Structure 1
């Protein structure tokens, strides 16, 4: 049953993720977190952050990891193949016909309409992540982190993988410092 659910979830992502990897992320979130509840929002955010630091298409990386987590090696293969299968089939079909219809206004309009739709989907997902970060960091720290990230990425040209890597390391260091602080408190209470 899990294999069928994995196949259907990631096949839907593959068939509906028109516009590339970023447009697939909200679809993966909908399937994995909302529909099948294989992950929480925080776990999904962690997978997304890690997936963005690694090379290759984000949808297949996420499918591979989530498939592995849900159903082992076979689940990983199943989820990855079901993500890329629609693209492979559609590429074969579309590439044979697209050259003859690419100049039609409705084809150009359809292509142009994808950009704002993907933008809205990503904005919705970003808002969900921002609301979740409020729970752990609070509004002030979250907003400061957003503005510093925008400054580093857009104005200073920092690569997103470097920013994500630094933030992951900072989170690990802060978590270790928090554990050490808890141990000192426990030792103080024990004496």
Structure 2
């Protein structure tokens, strides 16, 4: 689809996505209703069907939805400049807040309750990573079977922890193997 540069003023695009960046606590999925509110209801840059298409496309592509949707919507309603404005506007509040909070945390890290707060994050992240691992295991088990999934996990673990291979190389090898694997679907003659 070609962009329509006359559809959305740059300032409106900037402020719409800045509001989303400021109020979108909880990451990309939490931002989706805010994006719909701004893009469909407030500014009418897209209708509900177009927004659903953008959401579907955004969910199929790799990377964070919090930048994919603004980038595509910005491009669609205001061209390449609109894309840059929308992505910048949505990430700018997060970057500024992160820098400010890290500076504050660094300045007061010796205070006991601040140090405890930092330490309290570790178990939460561990639980989140455990849940992610369980989700990946279930998807792998359903797609490949438990024996193949377990063998792959053991080989990957051995390569990473025993031989010191960087995880990126292991992931890249698995992706290449999946792409080069012949399809098991039969083709109609």
- Kept in 2, the 8 Å contact 1:32–1:39? The answer is no
Query: Matched residues in 2 for 1:88 and 1:69: separation?
Result: 23
User: Which of these two proteins has the greater Rg computed from alpha carbons?
Assistant: 2
- Kept in 2, the 8 Å contact 1:153–1:159? The answer is yes
Give TM-score, length-normalised by structure 1. Answer: 0.57
Query: Matched residues in 2 for 1:69 and 1:142: separation?
Result: 36
1:99 to 1:158, Cα distance in 2 relative to 1, 3 A: closer
1:87 aligns to 2:95 (yes or no): yes
Question: 2:153 maps to which residue?
Answer: 146
Residues 60-83 of structure 1: CA distance to partner in whole angstroms, max 9, x if unpaired?
xx6444544676564675356424
Question: 2:129 maps to which residue?
Answer: 122
The equivalent position to 2:111 in structure 1, one of 90, 104, 114, is 104
Give 3-state SS (helix, strand or coil) of 1:128's partner.
Answer: helix
1:182 aligns to 2:186 (yes or no): yes
Q: Which has the higher contact order (CA 8 A, sep 6+)?
A: 1
TM-align CA RMSD: 3.8
Query: Matched residues in 2 for 1:139 and 1:80: separation?
Result: 43
Residues 4-37 of structure 1: CA distance to partner in whole angstroms, max 9, x if unpaired?
689748963xx55xxxxxxxxxx55x5489xx99
Please, which runs of 5 or more residues in structure 1 have no aligned partner?
Answer: 17-26, 49-58
Query: Matched residues in 2 for 1:119 and 1:79: separation?
Result: 30
Give TM-score, length-normalised by structure 2. Answer: 0.58
Q: Write 1 or 2 for the structure with the bigger share of helix.
A: 1
Aligned residues: 149
Query: Matched residues in 2 for 1:111 and 1:63: separation?
Result: 25
Residues 37-72 of structure 1: CA distance to partner in whole angstroms, max 9, x if unpaired?
9459x947xx26xxxxxxxxxx6xx64445446765
